[in-house]
Structures are given as structure tokens and as C-alpha cells.
Amino acid sequence: MDHRVAVLAIIVKEGESVAPLNDLLHQYGPYIIGRMGVPYRERGVSIISVAMDAPGNVISALSGKIGRLSGVTAKTVYAPEEL
């Protein structure tokens, strides 16, 4: 299966979802190139970007699992397929 390069944009509003989110990211660790998190205290959210190189179905699965966490939003942006 062909690997894709993608970035997951994650916004966390609920503090109790941080541990399950970190568990998911740990499970998918072999596919993660890097991640950056920024706490935005004035608005009460954390903004996380996760760069990945993985099969499309793996990226979709992780994004879907993250999006089902309470108070968490996730969107995925894919690089052009010809990379």
C-alpha cells in the first residue's frame, strides 16, 4: 500500500481527552514524523499538528479515532500524491 504524507490538525478543548489522545498518538508512533503542540490558554484550547507518513487508511483511522474523543476536533490535509 502506498504511503501518503499528511498533517493532522487537532484542537483539544476538553482536558480529560488529553491522555486518550496521547495514547492514540503513541500507538501510531511508527508513522509519525513529528508533532508540535501549542497551548492557547487565553482561549482554553490546545492546538496540535502531527506530520505523518503512512498508508492512507492508517491516517484516516487515526483521524477518525481522534475525532471521536470528547472535546477534540481533527482534520487532515494530504500532500499531493505525486510526492
In which band, very low, low, confident or very high, does the pLDDT at 74 lie, cut at 50, 70 and 90? very high
- Domain-embedded: residue 7: yes
- Please name the residues in contact with 45: beta carbons below 8 A apart, sequence gap of 6 or more: 11, 12, 13
- Domain-embedded: residue 33: yes
In whole angstroms, give the CA distance from residue 49 to residue 9: 5
- Alpha carbons within 13 angstroms on the beta-carbon side of residue 81 total 4
Domain that holds residue 71: 3-78
pTM given for the model: 0.90
In which band, very low, low, confident or very high, does the pLDDT at 2 lie, cut at 50, 70 and 90? confident
Among 43, 58, 53, residue whose Cα is nearest residue 12: 43
Beta bridge mates, 49:
9, 36
44-57: per-residue pLDDT in tens?
999 999 999 999 99
- In this model, does residue 24 exceed pLDDT 80? yes
**Tally of domains in the chain:** 1
- Domain-embedded: residue 83: no
CATH number at residue 26: 3.30.70.1150
The pLDDT value recorded for residue 81 is 78
